[in-house]
Amino acid sequence: MSDQVAHSAVQPFSARAALPWLVGLSVYAALLIAGPRLLGDPDTYSHVELGRWIMAHGALPTSDPFSFSKHGAPWITFEWLSEVIYAAAYVISGWPGVVVVAAAAIALAFGLLTFFLLRELSPTQTLLMVIAAVILLAPHMLARPHVLVLPVMVIWAAALVRCMDRGGPPPYWALPLLVLWANLHGSGVLALGLIGPAGLEALLREKRSEWPRVLLRWLPFTALAVAASCLTPHGPEPLLMPLTTLGLGPALAWIAEWRPQDFGHVGGFELLLLAGIFALSRGVTLPVVRVLVVLGLLHFALAQMRNADLLAMLAPLYLAAPLGRRFGGAAADDAAVASRGLTLAGLGVLIAASGVALAHDVRPAPTITPQAAIAAADLAKAGPVLNDYSFGGYLIFAGIPTFIDGRAELYGGPFIDRYNRALALIDLGDFLNLLEEYRIGATLLAPHTPAVAMLDRLPEWQRVYSDGVAVVHKRRETPQR
């Protein structure tokens, strides 16, 4: 065998090929170290319990089985596949297993993002954009369904952006991703929305005489994408869930992740926004469609904090090719280099790191786990419990019917608004009415809640337990006169 043949048979290891794996493994290792941080949201409890409910019943719920305030009301779970995955991980290995699944999904998403950006950008440029994405996504790195769909979202968006960059045909091969997306998370309508920019840029690239041909190319793809997004146990209904959530109106202001960005103090979002404005001032020009996409993502991120995820993971993909042309990007000869040896090594590291994570005692945050209060006050037998919003997930997990929990689409805007106004004592009379209307036998509230001080003063109520996490009041059997 000649030296030339030997050289072509064994390609040298490429640093560019290693970067996506290094990014993914670094993110994965960091998330395993910060394991409890992923379990800091009360909805993780309810997602795991709902997944266990689905596995136990072999069916999906069509009405609410967990609360007493809305028990039996029509309700569907539009993230059932994520919930089953989390529940299976919990059954197999407890909370460490849940952390491993969530961390692996987030790490895979960043590894894929790095891989796709390297098609157009240099490693340095890619790393800068990935670091910015990590900062934006960090507050929402939680063991919830949205992180399981992140790798799917990146692949789908990258496929459409590739068509925009290269003027290629619609990526029919990616349509099965929409079936997975629609069953993992209720944001499937976003996937359909991303088709619009790709089709619009294809139109603007051609003369008007060619527009019918372009439309005939993209319309069948769009129709199949809609059909694929409807392949859920509930048909097209999950596609309407974002509209249902946005229909909550003013009640969204009571839920932290749905609030607008807070510029009252300097944070990562503001710094990155200023850095982006500075970069654009250096003579960067973008195609009009890319400008519209980035502005749309920025609007969503400013309007609601949770949408910073979309800006983090999607904007870099739409910006990569224009920035690569402006500043110099990937070399053509190694932009798509892959290494099977690195893949196997990476999988080995993932398995080993997962084993380390499983050996640690990882549990959800104490601030959302009023376990001691429930046990000490015997709340399972106390009758209807008026609970703090942040305790709803744990109550579902513990098998105690909730007054309210994280399923905003079930409770609706007026109910959520009334609940928060009552507990904040904005409407003191309605707080008292709430206790009587729902025949509340006990309350389980965070210590800082204004209603706690009021319950301390009501003669028919008595404080029976308190700690740094929760305060419990129960009705007196014989009200004082």
pLDDT digits (tens, 9 = 90+) for 343-382: 544 555 555 555 555 546 788 999 999 999 999 999 988 8
Residue from 76, 104, 79 nearest 89 by CA: 104
> Do residues 32 and 103 lie in contact, with contact meaning Cβ atoms separated by under 8 Å?
yes
Per DSSP, the three-state class of 392 is: helix
- Residue type at position 83: E
Strand pairing report for 385-387 and 442-445: parallel
Domain annotation covers residue 167: no
Question: Rounded mean pLDDT of 11-30?
Answer: 80
Does the pLDDT of residue 419 top 80, yes or no?
A: yes
Does the pLDDT of residue 445 top 90, yes or no?
A: yes
Residue from 376, 401, 470 nearest 49 by CA: 401
Give CA 175 to chain center in angstroms.
21
Number of folded domains that form the chain:
2
Question: Rounded mean pLDDT of 233-242?
Answer: 86
The runs of H, that is alpha helices, within 359-449 are 371-377, 392-398, 408-423, 428-437
The partner residues of 466 in beta bridges, in order of sequence, read 471
Q: Indicate the average pLDDT of the chain.
A: 85
Please indicate, yes or no, whether residues 123 and 259 belong to a single structural domain of this protein.
yes
Distance, CA of 442 to CA of 452 (rounded, Å) = 12
Domain finish residue from 356, 379, 412: 356
Residue from 29, 268, 261 nearest 132 by CA: 268
Hey, how many other C-beta atoms are within 10 angstroms of the C-beta on 11? 12
Look up the domain containing 108 and give its range.
Answer: 14-148+247-356
Question: Rounded mean pLDDT of 20-45?
Answer: 92
The band of 83, judged by pLDDT with boundaries at 50, 70 and 90, is very high
Domain annotation covers residue 206: no
Buried b (16+ CB within 10 A) or exposed e, 340-366: eebeeebeeebeebbeebbeeebebbe
Please indicate, yes or no, whether residues 327 and 377 belong to a single structural domain of this protein.
no
The band of 325, judged by pLDDT with boundaries at 50, 70 and 90, is confident
Domain finish residue from 322, 356, 390: 356
Domain finish residue from 304, 324, 356: 356
> Do residues 430 and 417 lie in contact, with contact meaning Cβ atoms separated by under 8 Å?
no
> Do residues 373 and 463 lie in contact, with contact meaning Cβ atoms separated by under 8 Å?
no
- pLDDT, position 6: 40
Domain annotation covers residue 457: yes
Question: Rounded mean pLDDT of 300-329?
Answer: 84
pTM: 0.88
Question: Rounded mean pLDDT of 212-239?
Answer: 92
Please indicate, yes or no, whether residues 324 and 280 belong to a single structural domain of this protein.
yes
Please indicate, yes or no, whether residues 328 and 390 belong to a single structural domain of this protein.
no
The band of 172, judged by pLDDT with boundaries at 50, 70 and 90, is very high
Per DSSP, the three-state class of 262 is: coil
